[in-house]
Structure 1
Amino acid sequence: MFLRLLLLITAICGSVGCTVPDTTPLKQWRHVEEGAYAADISADGTIAVVSGVDNGINVWRIGESEPLYRWGHQSEGNNLVVSVHISADKRYVVTADRVAFALWDMETGEPVGFWRIDESNIRDVAVTNNGRGILVARSSGKVMFFEPSTQRRLEFLGHQEKVNSIDISPNGKYALTGGNDYLAYLWSTETGQILHTFTHPTRVTKVALDDEGRFAFTADSQSKSQIWNVQTGQPVSSLNYIARQKIFTDVEFSKDGKYLLTGSPSRKAYLWDIETGDQIQSIQVAVRETISPPTSVVYGVGFLPNGNIVTESSSGLAEVWQRER
Structure 2
Amino acid sequence: MLKTNLKAGRSFSPFFTGGKTALVQNIGGKEGDFVIASVDKDLNVLNIASGNVDMTVSGTADEVTCFAVKPDGKHLVSATRSLLLSLVDLSDGTVVRSWKAHEAPVLAMAFDKSSTLVATGSADSTIRVWDVDRGYATHLFKGHSGVISALTFFNGKSNNILLASASDDCKVRIWDLKTKKCVSVLDNHVSVVRGVAFSVDGRYLLSGGRDKILNVWEVSSGELIKTIPTYEAMESIGLVSEISRIGLEKKLGLDECSMIAYSGGEKGVIRLWNIDTGDCIATQKSETNSSYEITDVLLRPKSQDIVAVTSDHNFLFYNMLEDLTRTHQIVGYNEEIVDVCFVNPNESSLAVASNSEQIKIMDLESSNCDILYGHSNIVVCLDRSKDGMFLASGSKDHTALIWHHDSESNRFQLAGSCVGHNEAIGALAFSQKSNAFLITGSQDRTIKMWEISSLEKHLKSSKEPLKLKSSYTFQAHEKDINSIAVAPNDKIFATGSQDKTAKIWSTTDGSLVGTLKGHRRGIWSVQFSTVDQVLVTSSGDKTIKLWSMTDYTCVKTLEGHLNSVLKVSFISLGMQMVSCGSDGLVKLWNIKNNECIETFDGHEDKVWALAVKRDESLVVSGGADSKITIWEDCTAAEREEQDRETNEKVEKEQDLMNFLKKKDYKNAIILAMELDKPMRLLTLFKQLDKARLHPASATGLYSVDEVVKGLDKEQLEKLLKYIRDWNTHSKHASIAQLLLHLILNNTPSEDLFKTHRIKELLDSLLVYSERHYVHVDEMLKKSYLISYTLDRMDDLIGGAGDVEMEVSQ
Q: Normalising by the residue count of structure 2, what TM-score does the alignment of the two structures yield?
A: 0.30
Q: Deviations over 1:18-63 (max 9, x none)?
A: xxx9995240222423421112234455543211234711223423
Q: Secondary structure at the match of 2:286?
A: coil
Task: Give 1:27's match in structure 2, choosing from 54, 57, 60.
Answer: 54
Q: How far has the Cα of 1:143 moved from its partner?
A: 0.8
Q: How far has the Cα of 1:83 moved from its partner?
A: 1.1
Q: Measure, in 2, the Cα distance between the counterparts of 1:80 and 1:265.
A: 22
Q: 1:127 to 1:180 in 2, by over 3 A?
A: same
**Equivalent residue number for residue 174 of structure 2:** 145
Q: Measure, in 2, the Cα distance between the counterparts of 1:170 and 1:72.
A: 33
Q: Which amino acid aligns with 1:72?
A: K
Structure 2: 5+ residue stretches without partners? 1-47, 246-259, 336-809
What are the within-5 Å matches in structure 2 for residues 174-323 of structure 1?
Answer: 174-212=204-242, 214=245, 215-230=260-275, 233-242=278-287, 243-249=290-296, 251-256=297-302, 258-275=304-321, 276-285=323-332
Q: Deviations over 1:140-185 (max 9, x none)?
A: 2211111121224201122133323323346543322112321012
8 Å CA contact retained: 1:184, 1:204? no
Q: 1:241 to 1:25 in 2, by over 3 A?
A: farther
Q: 1:80 to 1:152 in 2, by over 3 A?
A: closer
Q: Secondary structure at the match of 1:248?
A: strand
8 Å CA contact retained: 1:200, 1:224? no
CA RMSD across the alignment: 3.5
8 Å CA contact retained: 2:165, 2:172? yes
Q: 1:271 to 1:63 in 2, by over 3 A?
A: farther
What are the within-5 Å matches in structure 2 for residues 128-143 of structure 1?
Answer: 128-129=154-155, 132-143=161-172
Q: Measure, in 2, the Cα distance between the counterparts of 1:89 and 1:164.
A: 24
Q: Measure, in 2, the Cα distance between the counterparts of 1:54 and 1:167.
A: 29
Q: Deviations over 1:50-104 (max 9, x none)?
A: 1123471122342323234424224xx7x61111112233232110112211111
Q: Which amino acid aligns with 2:214?
A: A
8 Å CA contact retained: 2:144, 2:169? no
What are the within-5 Å matches in structure 2 for residues 147-186 of structure 1?
Answer: 147-150=176-179, 151-169=181-199, 172-186=202-216
Task: Give 2:78's match in structure 1, choosing from 43, 50, 53.
Answer: 50
The structure in which a higher percent of residues are helix is 2
**Equivalent residue number for residue 801 of structure 2:** none
Q: Measure, in 1, the Cα distance between the counterparts of 2:205 and 2:143.
A: 20
Is 1:94 the counterpart of 2:110 in the alignment? no
Q: 1:284 to 1:258 in 2, by over 3 A?
A: same
8 Å CA contact retained: 1:132, 1:172? no
8 Å CA contact retained: 2:269, 2:285? no
8 Å CA contact retained: 2:238, 2:263? yes
Q: 1:61 to 1:199 in 2, by over 3 A?
A: farther
Q: Measure, in 2, the Cα distance between the counterparts of 1:112 and 1:171.
A: 25
Q: 1:191 to 1:44 in 2, by over 3 A?
A: same
Q: Deviations over 1:187-217 (max 9, x none)?
A: 2221223444332222222112235483321
Q: How far has the Cα of 1:247 moved from its partner?
A: 1.8
Q: Secondary structure at the match of 1:82?
A: strand
Q: Which amino acid aligns with 2:294?
A: I
8 Å CA contact retained: 2:107, 2:148? no
Q: How far has the Cα of 1:264 moved from its partner?
A: 3.7
Q: Measure, in 1, the Cα distance between the counterparts of 2:228 and 2:92.
A: 41
Q: How far has the Cα of 1:125 moved from its partner?
A: 1.9
Q: 1:100 to 1:244 in 2, by over 3 A?
A: same
8 Å CA contact retained: 2:110, 2:152? yes
Q: 1:72 to 1:126 in 2, by over 3 A?
A: farther
Q: 1:68 to 1:190 in 2, by over 3 A?
A: farther
Q: Secondary structure at the match of 1:133?
A: strand
8 Å CA contact retained: 1:29, 1:63? no
Q: Which amino acid aligns with 1:67?
A: V
8 Å CA contact retained: 2:176, 2:183? yes
8 Å CA contact retained: 1:88, 1:211? no
Q: 1:123 to 1:267 in 2, by over 3 A?
A: same
Q: 1:222 to 1:277 in 2, by over 3 A?
A: same
Q: How far has the Cα of 1:254 moved from its partner?
A: 2.8
Q: Which amino acid aligns with 1:158?
A: N
8 Å CA contact retained: 2:269, 2:294? no
Q: Measure, in 2, the Cα distance between the counterparts of 1:62 and 1:164.
A: 28
Q: Secondary structure at the match of 2:94?
A: coil
Q: Normalising by the residue count of structure 1, what TM-score does the alignment of the two structures yield?
A: 0.70
Q: Which amino acid aligns with 1:281?
A: H
Task: Give 1:113's match in structure 2, choosing from 139, 142, 148.
Answer: 139
Q: What count of residue pairs does the alignment treat as equivalent?
A: 268
8 Å CA contact retained: 2:209, 2:234? yes
Q: Measure, in 1, the Cα distance between the counterparts of 2:224 and 2:76.
A: 32
8 Å CA contact retained: 2:265, 2:295? no
Q: Measure, in 1, the Cα distance between the counterparts of 2:307 and 2:49.
A: 15
Q: 1:265 to 1:163 in 2, by over 3 A?
A: same
Q: Which amino acid aligns with 1:269?
A: F
Q: Secondary structure at the match of 1:192?
A: coil
Q: Secondary structure at the match of 2:301?
A: coil
Q: 1:62 to 1:235 in 2, by over 3 A?
A: farther
Is 1:127 the counterpart of 2:153 in the alignment? yes
Give the number of the structure with larger relative contact order, counting CA–CA contacts within 8 Å between residues 6 or more apart. 1
